[in-house]
A and B are shown apart, each in its own frame.
Chain A
Amino acid sequence: MMSMPRCLRICGGNDSLRGTDAMPATTMIDAIRDALDVALTDDPTVTVFGQDVGYFGGVFRCTAGLQKKHGIDRCFDTPISELGIVGVAIGMAAYGRKPVVEIQFADYMYPAYDQIVSEAARLRYRTAGEFTCPIVIRMPTGGGIFGAQTHSQSPEALFTHVTGLKVVMPSNPIDAKGLLLSAIDDPDPVIFLEPKRLYNGPFDGHHDRPVSPWRTHPMGEAPLGRYLVPLGQAAIRRKGAALTVLAYGTMVHVALAAVEETAIDAEVIDLRTLLPLDLETIVASVRKTGRCVVVHEATLTSGFGAELAALVQAECFWHLHAPVERVAGWDTPYPHTNEWDYFPGPARVAAACRRVLEVQ
């Protein structure tokens, strides 16, 4: 009855400061901290703030040590005021600074949503380009930690629906660092969603198996110093001919596990950036395979998968052998105890792949 690891640590207990002190980052937490450290070092206008971000070092420890190293002017605590955090960041950004703010959980974003949509995303347009809003809003996202409905959501579609924003979700430490540095360099507002279940290791949806560390994963060790992973560029994680699986964040690992376990020769694409979307890579793959499964953890209806399915059918209609399938969280609140019934794990992804392959 109690096969799942119920006692998963939700906060990173890692204060080693790898990634900041000449040792390559070996977790997603370290990689993100390393990116912030590089940005703070290279660009005197970069400013990092949020709840518990300064003195405490962040609830997931992504900013541990940064205040000590760069000073309280560059990395500091805020009150628990999400709309204030984002609003102040927008003002700073409009007037010469580069704020990188943290919303402690993506689920806490809603009070700030008005600022994100009405101000951050629209400032450039509204001022005919005179003012811009180069901010990055980091948010731990997704479930798998028994956080129930207020600490597990994946709200990416609420952002991809807003013109003017860019939306990024890395799936591993190497990308996390390179994408975050690109996001900070970017002249427009970027929503940077960090799958919290991936902070301390890749997670393929097999919640009943031991957690594996990033250090044994090929994408687990983020190199030292500055490097960029460009926004708007997907990565093919597995080459294949039978069908194309589109995924991002945690679900990249779930999709890879699903196709390996079923020996399906799928091409697995890690989108990395949802806005702007690398449609070219997607279309080339689906035109080659003729079949497509879209996977995300967020709820199904009006999820980002709907956009992907629409684009694939429009761009690849004459190459498709089967309808595009979506595998997503059910249209329910994120459950507490029944978390793994909700989570679209490898079995559900594999079943969708089989269905798509069955169509002649």
Chain B
Amino acid sequence: MAARKVPDLPNVSKDDLLKYYREMLLIRRFEEKAGQLYGMGLIGGFCHLYIGQEAVVVGLEAAAEEGDKRITSYRDHGHMLACGMDPKGVMAELTGREGGYSRGKGGSMHMFSKEKHFYGGHGIVGAQVPLGAGLAFSDKYKGNDRVTFTYFGDGAANQGQVYETYNMAELWDLPVIFVIENNQYAMGTSVKRSTKSPTLWQRGAAYGIEGEAVDGMDVLAVKEAGQRAVAHCRAGKGPYILEVMTYRYRGHSMSDPAKYRSREEVQKMREERDAIEHVRDLLMQGGHATDEDLKAIDKEIKAIVNEAAEFAKDSPEPDPAELWTDIYAKVAPQTA
């Protein structure tokens, strides 16, 4: 087993490190539990786990302020937990129950929270990107300095609508941060089999959009890049692109034959680059936490996740009458 590189101790407070550790661990344990519930048949259909990518959302949320917005694709559980949505409501949507954020109408890919400024959860690759620009446009009308984190993957980066959006976002100086979560694989197709662009973020140059690539397995690096992006947008300089280099450990969804990459490749990332282990090392080496402290956090997180799972099992299925709600403002059910 290859050893992970011992990180330099950065200038970061103990509290911040513990916060990131806790948030990333929550996502990982939540996703592991979701995987279990899927295996038990309690979650049906599609379920895309975020395991491996935790530092991306946790780092960027650390750069966000109240009122900033976020919108993403179908690999969305991590984003919801990181922005403070209730794990119970997220898990109950995964199991399709009344207690879920979309009351069982959306499932894993389609959840929202106005309170947390989370605009979904979108099942079509790339379709959320123009929406993100629209959210930012609304903020511009309101005259505030809020920004919108618009997440998409390396796969979506090849969708035409992304580039239509780039052009408009720069044209109108929209305060939108395009976050490309480059986890190297668009389902089963690696980046090198889908583009010859050496980077994805540099494509923004054609539209005059500034950006950068950042190590997505390092939560502190992500946070710093996020702060640069946020400062750019808040200053009224228009959009910014962050290409966050990350890695998903699990399959694209729950039924993934995993024939497009080697077991060794995944194992190497887990052992050498894991974002949670990275923060764990920082905590231990900085003398900020003992093994016991971290075990206590583990226990605390486990309790939260178990509570969410229990809630998601116990919450009732939506009434069939729910089929007829939320389609138009007023709707008369069909019968036959």
**Distance of B247 from chain A, by nearest CB (Å):** 18
Is B317 in the interface zone, CB < 8 Å from A? yes
Instruction: Say yes or no: A332 contacts B324, CB within 8 Å.
Output: yes
**Distance of B184 from chain A, by nearest CB (Å):** 14
Number of interface residues of A (CB under 8 A): 53
Is B186 in the interface zone, CB < 8 Å from A? yes
Q: A7-B44, A111-B159 are in contact. Are A77 and B189 (CB under 8 A)?
A: yes
Instruction: Say yes or no: B318 contacts A338, CB within 8 Å.
Output: yes
CA of A348 to CA of B96 in the docked complex: distance in angstroms?
A: 24
Instruction: Say yes or no: B194 contacts A80, CB within 8 Å.
Output: yes
**Distance of A209 from chain B, by nearest CB (Å):** 15
Which residue from B74, B104, B109 sits with its C-beta under 8 Å from A337? Answer: B104
- Per-residue contact bits, chain A 313-354, to B (CB 8 Å; 1 contact, 0 not): 000000000000001001111011110011000001001100
Instruction: Say yes or no: A2 contacts B125, CB within 8 Å.
Output: no
CA of A351 to CA of B324 in the docked complex: distance in angstroms?
A: 21
Point out which of A5, A59, A336 has the most chain B C-beta atoms below 10 A from its C-beta. A336
**Distance of B106 from chain A, by nearest CB (Å):** 6
Instruction: Say yes or no: A150 contacts B334, CB within 8 Å.
Output: no
**Distance of B163 from chain A, by nearest CB (Å):** 10
Is B45 in the interface zone, CB < 8 Å from A? yes
**Distance of A55 from chain B, by nearest CB (Å):** 6
CA of A333 to CA of B40 in the docked complex: distance in angstroms?
A: 27
The secondary structure that dominates the B interface is loop
**Distance of A222 from chain B, by nearest CB (Å):** 23
Is A145 in the interface zone, CB < 8 Å from B? yes
**Distance of B188 from chain A, by nearest CB (Å):** 3
CA of A330 to CA of B325 in the docked complex: distance in angstroms?
A: 12
Contact residues in B for A335 (Cβ distance below 8 Å): 105, 322-323
Which residue from A51, A110, A351 sits with its C-beta under 8 Å from B187? Answer: A51
Instruction: Say yes or no: B158 contacts A55, CB within 8 Å.
Output: no
CA of A83 to CA of B74 in the docked complex: distance in angstroms?
A: 21
Which residue from A1, A147, A342 sits with its C-beta under 8 Å from B317? Answer: A1
Instruction: Say yes or no: B187 contacts A111, CB within 8 Å.
Output: no
CA of A295 to CA of B260 in the docked complex: distance in angstroms?
A: 40
Contact residues in A for B186 (Cβ distance below 8 Å): 51-52, 79-80
Contact residues in A for B284 (Cβ distance below 8 Å): none
Is A6 in the interface zone, CB < 8 Å from B? yes
CA of A61 to CA of B255 in the docked complex: distance in angstroms?
A: 12
Determine the interface band of chain B, counting residues with CB < 8 A from chain A: 35 or more
The secondary structure that dominates the A interface is loop
Is B7 in the interface zone, CB < 8 Å from A? no
Is B39 in the interface zone, CB < 8 Å from A? yes
**Distance of A12 from chain B, by nearest CB (Å):** 9
A100-129, CB < 8 A from B: 107-108, 110-111
Contact residues in B for A151 (Cβ distance below 8 Å): 45-46, 123
Is B296 in the interface zone, CB < 8 Å from A? no
Contact residues in A for B105 (Cβ distance below 8 Å): 148, 333, 335-338
Contact residues in A for B125 (Cβ distance below 8 Å): 80, 108
Is A44 in the interface zone, CB < 8 Å from B? no
CA of A1 to CA of B315 in the docked complex: distance in angstroms?
A: 11
Is B198 in the interface zone, CB < 8 Å from A? no
Is A305 in the interface zone, CB < 8 Å from B? no
Instruction: Say yes or no: B46 contacts A146, CB within 8 Å.
Output: yes
Is A233 in the interface zone, CB < 8 Å from B? no
CA of A179 to CA of B159 in the docked complex: distance in angstroms?
A: 31
Instruction: Say yes or no: B255 contacts A336, CB within 8 Å.
Output: no
B298-336, CB < 8 A from A: 316-318, 320, 322-324, 327, 334, 336
Instruction: Say yes or no: B327 contacts A13, CB within 8 Å.
Output: no
CA of A342 to CA of B334 in the docked complex: distance in angstroms?
A: 11
- Per-residue contact bits, chain B 237-267, to A (CB 8 Å; 1 contact, 0 not): 0000000000000000101110110000000
Contact residues in B for A1 (Cβ distance below 8 Å): 316-317
**Distance of B226 from chain A, by nearest CB (Å):** 25
B residues contacting A by CB (< 8 A) are 38-46, 74, 96-97, 102, 104-107, 109-110, 122-126, 155-156, 158-161, 186-189, 193-195, 253, 255-257, 259-260, 316-318, 320, 322-324, 327, 334, 336
List 5 A–B pairs whose Cβ atoms lie within 8 Å, in order of A's numbering: A10-B46, A57-B259, A77-B193, A84-B158, A332-B323
5 more CB-based (< 8 A) A-B contacts, given A57-B188, A149-B123: A79-B158, A332-B327, A336-B106, A336-B110, A341-B323
Which 9 A-B residue pairs are closest in the complex by CB-CB distance? A146-B45, A150-B123, A56-B188, A79-B158, A6-B44, A337-B96, A337-B104, A146-B44, A7-B41
